Copies of this chain bind each other. A is one copy, B any other.
């Protein structure tokens, strides 16, 4: 840990604690290689700290992973719930449009990713990874996101009162796939489009996504 001396001899630590540096390093590596593709040694090398400190701050590799997930999830669910409530308050008495509801679900995330890219990029990539993992997707996405998702589905049900349950759930599933692939920022879109669209360009996707997805919900749900 670097230390800096100031004027009167007060010792001030580097602004990040070791624990935070470990979490940051692990988050980035897990996002790229997956949980099992990364070793504690690689994490601690990146965090510039000794291997044994991983076990001082976290009781195991799996525990470290869980802490990474928990560190940011509450912030995300909080801003999305607030966005939904704000939309609902703008339409007292009747339901907001499907596009407005989906915008409340996706916009806060894409906006956060656009504005604080370095801070959030790897966390979102990790979520993309987990959402598409046959081993972990079912359990972890359910645990961390289902309460919020159910709240959004209720709102969508009011906007689409005649919608069949299965149509609504499948529509949400398509939304989820589109959203998390966008998080992954694989560069594939850049290759495919020859530069006409960029995987990392959140500003250019933030308006397109709710439009695209709302149209899907409406076509599947309306009789």
A17-25, A56-64, A170-178 - the one binding chain B: A170-178
CA distance A185 to B177 in the complex (A): 12
Q: Per-residue CB proximity of A194-223 to B under 8 Å, as 1/0?
A: 001101000011001101111111111000
Q: How many monomers of this protein are in the complex?
A: 2
B132, B204, B220: which contacts A186 (Cβ < 8 A)?
B132
CA distance A131 to B215 in the complex (A): 24
Cβ contacts A to B, 19 pairs, < 8 Å: A34-B133, A133-B186, A136-B186, A137-B188, A141-B188, A146-B192, A149-B192, A150-B192, A166-B197, A170-B209, A171-B208, A172-B192, A173-B182, A173-B197, A174-B181, A176-B181, A208-B220, A211-B216, A213-B216
Q: Is the CB of B36 within 8 A of A184?
A: no
